[in-house]
């Protein structure tokens, strides 16, 4: 059996050179099949070259699409001349229109209850703030229980973050007729207390934009 003397070839080179050694041997030791072997050898070399040296085509990345968040409405100009109500006991402040009335009824169910404006007046701004010792979920359940005694249906429940604190928004609409009027609630939980602001859906964001806590850390 004949062997190929491969001492003259460097086996660290690519497969291309190994194929060449094999073809040289076949040319030396073949007679009638030499042309066929040459064709086959060239075909092998072509395939190997294509596989190893195939150019890589990279598609340049297209432009990145960016979605800008919808900015929150700025109510500072509207509320700039409003009065400020401050409650140091429960550590919060909120602004209200100059012409609005202010009432603080005493009720056992709430630790603090403040009514701004008159709810019965059409198209006039009104809102209420209540404070209860309750978790966020407990306050949501309480508002749900209250609403179950009225002719309203909840149309929206949304998780929020107000000044870095967990909050929820609840929207209610009349189930029939025109009474009671649509009402929105925003509940903010801070430690053991839940602060609930309620107003018309079109006014609630304006009110919450003026609400703030007096101290950063409050228990």
The predicted pLDDT at position 66 comes to: 42
Strand partners, 102: 116
Distance CA 186, CA 155 (A): 14
Binned at pLDDT 50, 70 and 90, residue 215 comes out as confident
The CB-based long-range contact list for 50-53 (8 Å cut-off, 24+ gap) reads 52/14, 52/15, 52/16
| Cα 6 to Cα 159: distance, rounded to the nearest angstrom | 76
* Mean pLDDT of all residues belonging to the chain: 78
Per-residue pLDDT, 131: 97
What is the model's pLDDT at position 75? 81
DSSP 48-100: HHHHHHPPPP-PPPPPPP--PPPPPP--HHHHTT-EEEEETTTTEEEEE-TT-
64-83: average pLDDT: 68
The angle subtended at Cα 68 by Cα 66 and Cα 71, nearest 5°, is 180
Task: Indicate the burial class of 76 (C-beta count within 10 angstroms; 0-12, 13-18, 19 or more).
Answer: exposed
CA-CA distance, 106 to 97, in Å (whole number)?
A: 23
Report the pLDDT averaged over residues 142-159.
90
193-199/183-190 β-pairing: antiparallel
Q: Between these two residues, 145 and 6, which has the higher pLDDT value?
A: 145
Tokens of 68: 């800008």
| Residue 110: pLDDT over 50 | yes
The pLDDT of residue 65 is: 39
Q: What is the pLDDT of residue 101?
A: 92
Lowest mean pLDDT among 26-35, 109-118, 122-131, 191-200: 26-35
pLDDT above 90 for 83: yes
Please give the pLDDT value at position 165: 95
Q: What is the pTM of this model?
A: 0.65
**Local confidence band at 55 (pLDDT 50, 70, 90 cut-offs):** low
Confidence label for 73 from pLDDT (cuts 50, 70 and 90): confident
According to the model, what pLDDT value does residue 62 have? 47
87, β-bridge pairs = 92
Higher pLDDT, 142 or 181: 142
* Most distant CA atoms of the chain, gap in Å: 116
Domains assigned to the chain: 15-53 (no CATH), 78-213 (3.40.1000.10)
Mean pLDDT to the nearest integer, 136-146: 95
| Average pLDDT of the residues in 87-96 | 96
């Amino acid at each position: 059996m004949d062997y190929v003397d491969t001492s003259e070839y460097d086996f660290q080179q690519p497969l291309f050179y190994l194929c060449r050694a094999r073809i040289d041997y076949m040319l030396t030791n073949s007679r009638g099949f030499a042309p066929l072997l040459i064709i086959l050898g060239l075909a092998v070399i072509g395939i190997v070259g294509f596989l190893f040296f195939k150019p890589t085509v990279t598609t340049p990345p297209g432009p990145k699409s960016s979605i800008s968040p919808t900015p929150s409405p700025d109510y500072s100009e509207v509320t700039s001349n409003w009065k400020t109500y401050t409650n140091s006991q429960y550590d919060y402040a909120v602004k209200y229109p100059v012409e609005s009335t202010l009432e603080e009824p005493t009720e056992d169910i709430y630790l603090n209850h403040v009514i701004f404006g008159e709810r019965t007046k059409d198209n006039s701004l009104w809102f209420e703030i209540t404070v209860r010792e309750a978790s966020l979920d407990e306050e949501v359940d309480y508002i749900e229980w209250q609403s179950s005694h009225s002719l309203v249906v909840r149309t929206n429940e949304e998780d929020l973050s107000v000044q870095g604190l967990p909050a929820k928004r609840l929207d209610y609409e009349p189930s029939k007729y025109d009474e009671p009027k649509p009402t929105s609630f925003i509940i903010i939980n801070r430690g053991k207390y839940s602060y609930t602001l309620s107003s018309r859906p079109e006014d609630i964001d304006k009110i919450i934009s003026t609400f703030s806590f007096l101290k950063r850390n409050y228990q």
